[in-house]
Amino acid sequence: MKNQKLLEISEWAFLTTAALGCLMTLRVAIYQFAVPYQLNYEEGNILNAAVRIIQGANPYPAIQPPVYVFNTYGPLVYYLIAPLVKHFGPVFLYPRVVVCIAGLIIAALIVVLLRKTGVSLKLSLSFGLLYLTMPVVQSWVFLLRVDL
C-alpha cells in the first residue's frame, strides 16, 4: 500500500514537471512565431518554394547560374504551406504555427502509442509532454522546417 502511494505521487510529480517544461517550450515558441524575418536558413527556402507554387511555378527551380536555390525537402511541406502563403502573404508566422501544431500532434501520437501498449494515462501524458521539452525539439518547434 505504501509503495502504491509512493508510485502515485511519483507519477503526478513526473507529469507536473513534464507539463511545466512543455509550457516553457511553448512560451518560447509563441514568442518566436512573430519574428518577421527568417530565424534559420531553410525557412526562407521553404517560404520561397511556397511562393513559387502559388505563382504557378515548380517548387524546384532549374539549376542556372547564380543564385542557386536548392529545395531539399519533398513537395508535401511546400504544398502544405502554399495555401497559407496565398491567403496571408509571404510571412513566417502562420507556417511556423503549422510546424508547432505538427510537434503537438507528434506528442499526442506518443501518448496514444503508449496508451495502446498499456502504459498508464499519467505516464503516457508525461512522456508525450516530455518530447516537447527535449532540447532538439525546443530549438526546432518554432521554425519553419520539416525536421520534427
* 16-59 pLDDT per residue, tens: 999 999 999 888 888 888 888 888 888 888 888 899 899 988 88
Rounded distance, CA 120 to CA 18, Å? Answer: 15
Q: Give every CB contact of residue 26 below 8 A, 6+ residues apart in sequence.
A: 100, 132
Share of the chain above pLDDT 70, in %: 98
Q: Could you tell me which of 32, 10, 40 has the C-alpha nearest to residue 146?
A: 40
**Lowest mean per-residue pLDDT among 28-32, 101-105, 106-110:** 28-32
Identity (one letter) of the amino acid at 14?
A: F
What mean pLDDT is predicted for residues 101-108?
93
Task: Please say whether the dihedral angle defined by the alpha carbons of residues 79, 61, 95 and 133, taken in this order, is positive or negative.
Answer: positive
Three-class SS of residue 2? helix
* Contact (Cβ atoms closer than 8 angstroms) between residue 4 and residue 115: no
pLDDT for the residue 43? 85
Q: Give every CB contact of residue 78 below 8 A, 6+ residues apart in sequence.
A: 46, 49, 50, 53, 59, 71
* Contact (Cβ atoms closer than 8 angstroms) between residue 96 and residue 140: no
User: Is the link from the previous residue into 67 a cis peptide, with omega within 30 of 0?
Assistant: yes
* Contact (Cβ atoms closer than 8 angstroms) between residue 107 and residue 132: yes
* Contact (Cβ atoms closer than 8 angstroms) between residue 21 and residue 129: yes
**pTM, rounded to two decimals:** 0.82
